[in-house]
Amino acid sequence: MLVIPVIDIKDGKCVRVVQGLSDKTEFYSESPINIAKLFRKENFKCIHITDLDGAIHGNMRNFELIKEIAKSVDIPIQLGGGIRDFETADRIIKDLGVYRIVIGTAALTNPDFVKKALDNFSSSKIVICIDEKLNNVVIDGWINYANITPLDFAKQMETLGIKRIIYQDVTRVGNLSGPHIPRLVEIAENTKMKITSAGGISNFGDLKKIIEIEHLGIDSVMISRALYENQFPCQRIWRDVESKDVSLDLPKI
């Protein structure tokens, strides 16, 4: 089970938006770059970055900052938020050196973009994010309903040639209430795509629930708040070392 730490960027800072509500934004760090370096020292194998400004406004707002993050670590970066057209996707992959991009809203509003991206990049470079609220997909930074169920959306994307999705119930994001296991199982049993579970992971118990359904193709999980708030016992050791400014050798990959 691959655990992927999440860095959400808003106004150039590392934050966490609880349940997609801007008035519940939690601030974590002035420097997303330092957070990325910390996750690398803690031996994570890749990092997910979301440009929250881009997700809301429809175009990337933190391009240069994300470029600096990509330069600062030697592990793959997965990037989402505001990627709504092929030109943006092409620029990200070529100029930022990002390993893969995550498409959300545009997969529904502009499916031809998804087709073109698949034609020009391998399927391993494209991930579709399915954000759910009450069995309805939400778009535009979780603001608007798309009037389609997560399962139907997943099937549409599979028909286009998508091989991997990220699924999350936005009502669980940032509040440590656990993953939506029934929906994950429903999508996994009705498609052949690989699935990354996001949102709600609070501790090892929640992570273990995902591990128990890994055989269905749910092979990775994205975690944010639980990592920032040291909800996993091993983190206490890592963060203690970091706070004492002890040099850690980066492992070879």
Catalytic residues: 8, 131
Convert 223-237 to b/e letters by CB count within 10 Å (16 or more is b): bbbbbbeebbeebee
- Structure-token pair, residue 124: 């391993």
Type and span of the H or E element at 71: helix 63-72
Could you give the CA distance from residue 108 to residue 146 in angstroms, rounded to a whole number?
A: 8
- Structure-token pair, residue 225: 């708040």
Residue 158 near residue 193, CB atoms below 8 Å: yes
Residue 75 near residue 46, CB atoms below 8 Å: yes
Could you give the CA distance from residue 70 to residue 9 in angstroms, rounded to a whole number?
A: 14
Which DSSP category does 94 fall into? I
